[in-house]
Amino acid sequence: MREPLRFATIALLAALVAASAAAQDPLARRVSLDLKAMAPADAFKVLADAIGVGVTVEPGVTKPVDILVRDVRARTALDTICDSIDCHWTLSGRALTVKSTLDKVPAATMARIKAFGQLQAALKQPLPAGLRFENTPLPEVAERLSQITGVTVTFVGSEAATLKVTADVGQLALAGALQKIGEQTGDRITCRVRVQAPGDGVSIQAHIGGKSGARKSGK
């Protein structure tokens, strides 16, 4: 009977040592999270509180957190969140730090990424209700659209300075408004929508109307 008892005692001691190690290692603690579109600073605070550490989330980490995990190690939860919102984490003692992986991207490339994102958002931006052009010269249309959306809209072509359009574009996205204008101008005019990034530029150029479709270009 002594031999089985010795083995049982060893197994119990091993379990106690493992439990003690897990208690000392915050990353080994098990957590359950159900977070929906939560600001990253708040999401990591929830996790940090659950494992008993402090947390600093750098300003570059901005994407909202959506995560649903049940009874997983804190390390797994951290990896899952960071994989989904482009960040990386480090734990030093009891201090958790979260930084954006985009911090490692060259400044010029980062500027182009931000400018392209701004451009994409502008193209999807709904125009004000009631916005209508009545026999309006294209340069005036371009200036008005530029003021509203915060990007540079220009019409290019030999007739760009003289053509006039009549169009109700209220509540249309900018891309839809340009398409509607293109139904009147056909292949005669090209529309260029541009965002200027610091030290560089990203532009998107689309043929509005006609059969040529649209194309994007970086400059």
**Is 11 in the same domain as 95?**
yes
pLDDT score recorded for residue 206: 55
**Is 94 in the same domain as 186?**
no
Last residue within a domain, chosen from 50, 79, 104: 104
**Structure letter (DSSP) for residue 150:** S
**Structure letter (DSSP) for residue 95:** E
Last residue within a domain, chosen from 49, 78, 104: 104
**Which two three-digit tokens encode residue 127?**
């125009």
pLDDT score recorded for residue 194: 82
**Is 14 in the same domain as 87?**
yes
User: Pick from 144, 140, 154: which is nearest to 193 by CA?
Assistant: 154
Report the domain count for the chain: 2
**Which two three-digit tokens encode residue 200?**
């560089």
Instruction: Tell me the pTM.
Output: 0.50
Domain that holds residue 83: 2-104
Cβ–Cβ under 8 Å, residues 133 and 94 = no
pLDDT score recorded for residue 165: 93
Q: What is the mean pLDDT of each run of 10 residues along the chain (219 residues)?
A: 48 44 76 93 94 92 92 93 92 92 70 77 91 95 93 88 93 92 84 71 54 43
**Is 23 in the same domain as 120?**
no
**Is 98 in the same domain as 115?**
no
**Is 126 in the same domain as 139?**
yes
CA 97, CA 51: separation in Å to the nearest integer? 14
